[in-house]
Structure 1
Amino acid sequence: MVGIVLVSHSFELARGLADLAAQVAGPDVRIEGAGGGPEGSLGTSGDAVQAAIDRAESGDGVVVLADLGSSILTVRHLLEDAANGQVRLADAPLVEGAVAAAVISSTSQPLEVVLQAAEEARGARKL
């Protein structure tokens, strides 16, 4: 199944969202949070993101979702260095995209379909 990595400036946000998405998707989808800087500060660590990608990879690829500015830049920089096409950054809202990607991954869909589900979550209306 396609793995999912959630990158945030906040450790708590990344971990909490990973827990939520995992509860929706079930135990077979690898969902990893990568958030916060050194010593619990706000920020994004390229090493933490790369480690999360490595843990999430099961052979079917990884979809990465990120929250804001520098977290997106961090992921883009990592993907430039290791551009194999199996790790894709979604242009998607973090929460809605994570849940959509997790649900679709749990149905054993390929990388492109999971990525598309995350990105289509942008149009989800709440009212």
Structure 2
Amino acid sequence: MPRPARPAGHGRVGVVLVSHSHEVADAVRALALAVAESDDPAPVVATGGSIADGLGTSAVLVATAARRVDQGHGVVVLCDLEGAVETVLALLTDADEHGLPFPVRFADAPFVEGSVAAVATATAGGDLAAVLDAAEETGRRTKR
């Protein structure tokens, strides 16, 4: 059963999913939203590939995605591979230059599990620290 919708006008933490492949990022987004089971999910954008439509990551695309999901409560970014992590960390180092005035945090978490946890927590109304912690907690758990 879907969780109840939040009252109108209540912003949430946004989530950006960064993969070297836009198709992978989209699939993880779809999974995370399905698990969140909400008619009113937190804002989530998948970005991946390069501007030239190849595999890779782009700081410009990540910054654009972060601005799209920002509702004034911060943004958590999750990445698939080391190259994406490097792109995001470089972007965050120069956040002002990229037009990221709101709090943006990198989640050091497994991409799929962390994304599901972040989206579920953000959808439930968790604050920036709670969403970040939910994502990162997935990296501290074993699968047994």
| TM-score under structure 1 length normalisation | 0.92
> Which consecutive segments of 4 or more residues in structure 1 shift more than 4 A?
none
Q: Percent identity?
A: 45
| DSSP-derived class of the 1:40 partner | coil
- Identify the residue that residue 115 of structure 1 maps to in structure 2: 132
Deviations 1:5-29 (A, max 9, x none): 0101011001111111122222330
Which amino acid counterpart does residue 12 of structure 1 have in structure 2?
A: E
1:1-127 aligned at under 5 Å gives the runs 1-25=12-36, 26=38, 27-82=40-95, 86-127=103-144
| DSSP-derived class of the 1:23 partner | helix
Deviations 1:37-77 (A, max 9, x none): 23431100111111110111111111000111211111111
Deviation of 1:82 after TM superposition, in Å, equals 1.5
| TM-score under structure 2 length normalisation | 0.82
Deviations 1:84-126 (A, max 9, x none): 5610000100000000111111111110011000000013333
CA distance in 2: counterparts of 1:45 and 1:76, whole angstroms: 12
Q: Which one has the largest radius of gyration?
A: 2
Which amino acid counterpart does residue 118 of structure 1 have in structure 2?
A: A
Which amino acid counterpart does residue 28 of structure 2 have in structure 1?
A: L
Q: Extract unaligned runs of 5+ from structure 2.
A: 1-11
Relative to its length, the structure with more helix (as a share) is 1
| DSSP-derived class of the 1:123 partner | coil
